[in-house]
Amino acid sequence: VARIFLVTDYGLDDEFAGVLHAVIARLAPDASVIDLSHGVAPFDVAGAAALLARAAPHLGPGVVCAVVDPGVGGGRRAVAIEVDGDGPRHLVGPDNGVLTEAARAFGIRRAVELRRASDLASTFEGRDLFAPVAARLATGARLSDLGEPLDVDSLVEPPRALVATRATPDGHVALLATVRWIDRFGNVQLNVPGRAIAESSTLGVVVKGEDALVRVVSTFADLDPGTAGLLRDANDAVALVVAQGSAAERFDVAVGDHVELVGSFGPLS
């Protein structure tokens, strides 16, 4: 049975997400629809792209339909992407970067610009374009049935924060990272791969001029409740955490803020 994975910024109070389910059920009655999240902040393309990249390795076969689309109805392209690997075969959405990181991680085979059924502008392309296309792919349509091929190098890339390093006077390395995600529990994921930090080491953390020394641990339970630490999180990224508490509150950080780590590091890419 085919599966369709949804990511939107629709929220769950309005009927938008439910209507996507209904539209898919009509066109692909046997497909099973899984809500990855409808809680992306309104218009937050980068947040949705990061969420999808985190979830993608765990999805298995199916079709991703991601609709976070500040430019709905405008000039930006609507696309379907076919990828390699044993995860989702297709990703559908606006060409604004929401799909690209997850698609590149699988390896892009080809992509098309979606043909619209009507010349009329729609203000709800999730309902009128993206969900129907996802349903058609779930029932066996081929990419070539859906639109014209496009140059995959022309797909819009999400903005990506870089990781910078510098040597400190006392022979350490200072790594300037960016907060990529804060989850419901206040764990602060950085744009640094997990292998950059070595378990049992101690690192300096500098945020907004304040610094602290924290231990690198393997899991929350290695820290006393209320204590801060660094760990390789469930996406194998570096996360700043507080056991049974919120690191985001403790360090007063938000997505996009900079966090400097000071000490010794493994490979950064």
Report if residue 72 touches a copy of itself, rule: CB under 8 A. Answer: yes
Amino acid identity at 136: R
Distance CA(197)–CA(73), nearest Å, equals 44
Which of 116, 124, 174, 191 touches a copy of itself by CB under 8 A? 124
End-to-end CA distance of the chain: 37
Among 45, 46, 49, 59, binds a copy of itself (CB under 8 A): 59
The site that binds a copy of itself (CB under 8 A) totals a number of residues, namely 64
What's the sign of the alpha-carbon dihedral 52, 53, 55, 56?
positive
Report the alpha-carbon distance of residue 92 to residue 133 in Å, rounded.
Answer: 7
Q: Tokens representing 17? A: 């997400």
Residue ranges in 84-103 that form contacts with a copy of itself under rule CB under 8 A: none
**Phi–psi pair at 179, nearest 5 degrees:** -70, 120
Stretch that binds a copy of itself, among 50-58, 153-161, 169-177, 203-211 (CB under 8 A): 50-58
Residue 149 binds a copy of itself (CB under 8 A): no
**Could you say whether residue 254 binds a copy of itself (CB under 8 A)?**
no
- Does 77 sit near a copy of itself (CB under 8 A)? no
- What part of residues 156-185 is at the interface with a copy of itself (CB under 8 A)? 183-185
Structure tokens at 246: 């919120």
Closer residue to a copy of itself in complex, CB, 121/213: 121
- Concatenate the DSSP letters of all residues of 116-176 into one string: PS-SS--S-HIIIIIHHHHHHHHTT--GGGTEEE--GGGSPPPP-PPPEEEE-TTS-EEEE
Residue 106 sits in the site that holds a copy of itself (CB under 8 A): no
Q: Does 22 bind a copy of itself (CB under 8 A)?
A: yes
- DSSP letter for 107, please: -
Residue 43 touches a copy of itself, criterion: CB under 8 A = yes
**Any contact of residue 198 with a copy of itself (CB under 8 A)?**
no
CA atoms within 13 A on the CB side of 191: 20
Contact between 218 and a copy of itself by CB under 8 A: the answer reads yes
Q: Return residues touching a copy of itself (CB under 8 A).
A: 1, 3, 5, 7, 9-19, 21-23, 25-26, 29, 32, 34-40, 42-43, 51-52, 54-55, 58-60, 70-75, 120-124, 127-128, 183-185, 218-222, 225, 231, 233-234, 244
